[in-house]
Amino acid sequence: MLLTRLVVLVLAVGSIAWMAEKPARPLRTQDGPILPRRELLEVLGAAQRPLLADFYWIQAIQQVGRANTAAEYRDVFFYSDLATDLDLRFRYVYEWGAISTPFNLGREQWVNVDLSSRLLTKGLTAFPDDRRFLFQLAYNKMAYDKEYKIAADLLMRLSKFPDTPRHLPQLATRLYAQAGNFDTGLQMAEMLLESAEDEESRAFYAHRIKEILRERVLTQIDAAITAYEKERGARPKKVPDLVITGYLKQMPEDPLEGQFFIDRHGRARSTSGLYRLEMYDHAKKQELREDLAAGGIQIDETEDSP
């Protein structure tokens, strides 16, 4: 009898050991991890909301540890979102989740940035004056989403706080120009010029106003080049060609006293500054270097005449 029991016991233990395996990954659908509804957790965990928020916060951290793909990094957002739903004041989760969620597919192709921005926007409703959220969201809008106007607005909001670096409003004016909001950019630059406390800042904003005005002209020349190319099937060689053919009413003047020309990619530029008033990432800087080396950016002698 005892022997039979022992055999059954050994068989049972053997079966358990044989069937034992590592814990399964959390269940997920194509849209994200399967998580309990927030409303359910709020009812069941009404007395323990900080504890539940901590639990999903720890889950978010664990998810970063096991994530390898864009979809798995995407899940970090859902855990962070739930943790912050349960505790709106859990500040660190917004910041950490927003930084961890974006995923680089290679060649600076970023995904999940929309979710990162969503988390930061949600964080800003709970902490409207959080400088880190404002800056991170501005960075997302500027570097990933290319929504320069929103990024500029956020940076201007950020620049109103005391002791913020003075390059922030400067960057904002550049972003307004990049977004095509020249009037806003000019207004901001004029306002900043008036309120500048030192000579260096005043000189910067005086120059920035001229840069914005120049960028507005460059954008008009770009539009004329596009129209010329579309109708005539060839790219104009010089800016005066656009005036002669009527795509520009008159020879444009550079507020910074440079000369306008068309580079080898068909973009308008000026000799007063090789960099246009836009965001330059690594690839764009490289392209500019190549243009310079190839002679694509040079002053055309004939540009002197209208």
Q: Which residues are at the interface with other proteins (CB under 8 A)?
A: 43-44, 46-51, 53-54, 57-58, 61-62, 87, 89, 92, 96
The least CB distance from residue 33 to other proteins, in Å, is 17
Give 260's strand partners: 270
The least CB distance from residue 59 to other proteins, in Å, is 10
The least CB distance from residue 32 to other proteins, in Å, is 21
Region label for 125, one of left (φ > 0), alpha (ψ between -120 and 50) or beta (otherwise): alpha
Of 54 and 300, nearer to other proteins (C-beta) is: 54
Give 111's strand partners: 103
Of 48 and 195, nearer to other proteins (C-beta) is: 48
Of 100 and 140, nearer to other proteins (C-beta) is: 100
Of 61 and 71, nearer to other proteins (C-beta) is: 61
Of 89 and 146, nearer to other proteins (C-beta) is: 89
The least CB distance from residue 89 to other proteins, in Å, is 7
Nearest residue to 92 (alpha-carbon basis) of 127, 67, 118: 127
The least CB distance from residue 280 to other proteins, in Å, is 34
